[in-house]
Chain A
Amino acid sequence: MSTVLPEQGSRIRSWVTGFRRRETLAAYGFLSPWIIGFLVFMAAPMIASLVLSLTDYDALRPANFVGMSNYQQLLLDPKVRVSLANTLIYTVMMVPGTMVIALALALLLAKVGRRSVGFFRTVFYLPVVTPKVAVGVLFLLLFNGQVGLINSALSLVGIHGPQWSTDPLWVKPGLVLMHLWAVGGTVVIYLAALKNVPRDLYEAATIDGASAWQRFRRVTLPMISGALFFTFIVETIAGLQTFDEAYAAFYGSAASATYSSDAALFYLIYLFQQAFQFLHLGYASAMAWLLFIVIIVITAIQVRLSRRFVYYEGR
């Protein structure tokens, strides 16, 4: 016979009573499209992929249960290590780069007049809506080591640019530079955060003799740390899931795939190859779960660290 503690019982009764209320039902009614969408398009595929990760499955024949062998193979596969390392290196370069450039642009935008800010905000945001596949193709044209626009510009100041698209050392920096083109989304977030910093804090700091750098360091940064932290998390996850630009540039066609080096083999590209080129959907599912765990761990570390650096008003 099960026993229910008095406090727990009252909580359940309160929940059931609450559920009977019309407004609660209405709330769930309004929420239901999202709940159904989450269950059908997120939860169910995630569970399916977890099950598939324990099988040998090619989508053409019934799945064959193989236990943990896909996960064991992950540890032995040299390309998993290479692609994971590529992805982490790219993320480590891309996230700070994006945040610094976006913050610099947002600070400039915050200083321009109200009329022109709308124009510049639109200009900075335009690349965000450019299809990533087009950006990937553009990468090869701009970053060609011999006739690309980037190296042509560098040659004007006497610099013989690197082979961005073929030298393993320069492939990832090139892709990071290409990604920086689309920092507009982050700029808009930072601009909104900067606009919310109370003016009186700057006035008080100025009266106290704070320099421009001290005002930025002691007032601006703490006050927008919430926005910085949000973009830090979001950009990190985007970096770990990077796919489109690199795939379009290095793997998008039979011709480009022929010449693709391991330097551009990001984790999701290798996962995609395993799933849809080699038909190893079970193994690809295990890869997806490994990435999920990596993202969870990194995000948890970031959240833990954020307690020391992020300022939330009212806490």
Chain B
Amino acid sequence: MGFGTGDEIATTRVALADKAVAPFPVKIGGSAFDAQQFLSAVASHTAPDVIYLDRQLIGTYAARGTLEPLENCIAGQHIDMDQYRPAAVAEVTLNGKVYGLPESYDNRVLVVNNGAVRSVGLRPSDINPADRTALSRVTATLTEHASDGDVSRIGFDPKMPEFFPLWAKASGVQMLSDDGLRANLDDPRLVKVLEYTVGLIDQQGGWGSVKAFRDSFDFFGAKNPLMRDQLAAYPVDDWYLNVLGNVSPNVDMTVMPFTDTAGKPVDWATGSTWAIPAGSRHKDQACTWIKTMTDAPTWIAAAKVRAAKRRAQGKVFTGVFTGNKVADKTIFSDLVKLADKPAFDTAVRTVLEVQDSAFSMPASPAGSEFKSAWQDAVNRVLSGQQKPTEALAQAQQEAQLAIDNAVRRQ
């Protein structure tokens, strides 16, 4: 449940995983994870054998006893947990128990539209998150407005609210304690972060204008905002590099690490995971299946298929960023050849480099409520409904209450 076989990466791996449990029949759910559908299945004792979901949801379901701890699976099938990236494993670990095998590994890096930056006499290196004052100044320089006052180019998009945890970490703030039990959303330093990032949007015309302009972008087509010069710089998920490689292989961009105020790279890693519901009736087969899906040879086989496909289409293959570092090592050393595409070569190297500095949000028994609390707070500030201090105080109250209630029921 929660997984679709939409591309060659999925179909190749599913074929190998199915083979590993053959002749046991496997049926793929086909659509995104749906909490309502999952609850109905669990309540009617027809839980699927395997679910695929956002790693940030694992704590919520694990705390309710809905997921099978994978200790027996890991030990029984000799799964090498060291092959997975530590930040991803931390995200699926609650109270010392592992509840999922990491699948994807989404990193955040900074993308600069070289043409836009040079058009105002700046260099890509002038986009520097370490120097917040300079970044504000550069943002003002890069932003353009049409004659009617509407935004016609976003100078720097801080990607709020979704990248708030990245900005927080880059400012030395941990939004949730390592054990996932203490929210830290009313930290005065976090208030400053919110003031600063919302200020970046306000100086470009305000949330309404920036969001409306952003909503008009064709992010996944050849007329994407970098090609149309609608966006000068922004932090972005690494998978977007694959999109650009596919639709705009000649894009003139620079990819750099996002940094903290001391200039040290910071990467917020998220992604999806495979888990086994406690009600699964075929736990051994489920374990074998998810082990194979996340195993290095499986990822490498799928990457080979995609690389060949891209080559046949005359397109760029920028690799697959997986939660399995052993797989990544082979994929990026043997299959990704970008000598003739220096922009993408630098981009891929940057992503690989920042992975070492990645952090993840700790698993929490109220992970879903926690995420909703800070996201809603940022949105209230963006839309002018509340001031940062007030919004984050409310978020802290909501998040901590949800965590305390979840712990009480554990």
Contact = CB atoms under 8 A, between A and B. Distances in A.
Q: Do A and B share a complex?
A: yes
Interface of A: 56, 58-61, 64, 78-79, 140, 144-148, 155, 160, 162-163, 165-168, 258-263, 273, 276-279
Given A166-B212, A258-B375, A60 B64 contact: yes
Nearest to A166: B208
B380 A262 contact: yes
Nearest to B379: A261
Given A56-B409, A279-B35, A279-B60, A261 B212 contact: no
A140 B36 contact: no
Interface in B177-216: 207-209, 211-213, 215-216
Contacts of A163: 208-209, 211-212
Given A167-B383, A262-B379, A278-B402, A146 B149 contact: no
B372 A60 contact: no
Interface in B22-53: 35-36, 39, 42-43
B71 interface: no
Main secondary structure of the interface of A (DSSP, over half): loop
B131 interface: no
B172 interface: no
Interface residues of B, number: 41
Interface of B: 35-36, 39, 42-43, 60-61, 64-66, 148-151, 161-162, 207-209, 211-213, 215-216, 366, 368-369, 372, 375-376, 379-380, 382-385, 394, 398, 402, 405, 409
Contacts of A145: 208-209, 211-212
26 contacts: A58-B64, A59-B43, A61-B65, A79-B398, A144-B215, A144-B216, A145-B208, A145-B209, A146-B151, A147-B216, A160-B149, A163-B209, A165-B215, A166-B383, A258-B161, A258-B162, A259-B211, A261-B383, A262-B383, A263-B383, A263-B385, A273-B372, A277-B35, A277-B368, A278-B368, A279-B60
B349 to A, nearest CB: 29
Contacts of A60: 39, 42-43, 61, 64-66
Contacts of B402: 278
B383 A146 contact: no
B51 to A, nearest CB: 13
A160 B394 CA distance: 34
- Name the residue in A79, A148, A162, A167 with the highest tally of chain B Cβ atoms < 10 Å from its Cβ: A167
10 pairs of A and B residues whose beta carbons are closest in the complex = A163-B208, A145-B212, A146-B212, A261-B383, A166-B208, A147-B216, A276-B36, A60-B64, A261-B379, A59-B39
Nearest to A272: B36
Contacts of B148: 155, 160
Contacts of B149: 160
A60 to B, nearest CB: 5
A4 to B, nearest CB: 47
A273 to B, nearest CB: 7
B409 A146 contact: no
B207 A166 contact: yes
A166 B385 contact: no
Main secondary structure of the interface of B (DSSP, over half): helix
Given A258-B161, A260-B379, A168 B385 contact: yes
Contacts of A58: 64, 409
Contacts of B405: 56
A261 B382 contact: yes
A277 B211 CA distance: 25
Nearest to B381: A261
Contacts of A160: 148-149
Contacts of B212: 144-148, 163, 165-166
B117 to A, nearest CB: 23
A136 to B, nearest CB: 14
Contacts of A260: 376, 379
A228 B148 CA distance: 44
Contacts of A140: 215
Contacts of B409: 56, 58, 61, 64
A109 to B, nearest CB: 37
B65 A259 contact: no
Contacts of B65: 60-61
A265 to B, nearest CB: 9
Nearest to B366: A278
A162 B208 CA distance: 9
Contacts of B208: 145, 162-163, 166-167
A61 B35 CA distance: 15
A259 B384 contact: no
A79 B405 CA distance: 17
Given A167-B208, A279-B39, A78 B216 contact: no
A197 B161 CA distance: 57
A148 B211 CA distance: 13
Contacts of B39: 59-60, 276, 279
A165 B151 CA distance: 16
A160 B208 CA distance: 13
Contact of B35 (A78, A258, A276): A276
A168 B36 contact: no
A143 to B, nearest CB: 9
B64 A262 contact: no
A168 B383 CA distance: 7
B209 A146 contact: yes
A262 B376 contact: yes
A277 B149 CA distance: 39
B271 to A, nearest CB: 13
A211 to B, nearest CB: 46
A78 B394 contact: yes
B306 to A, nearest CB: 24
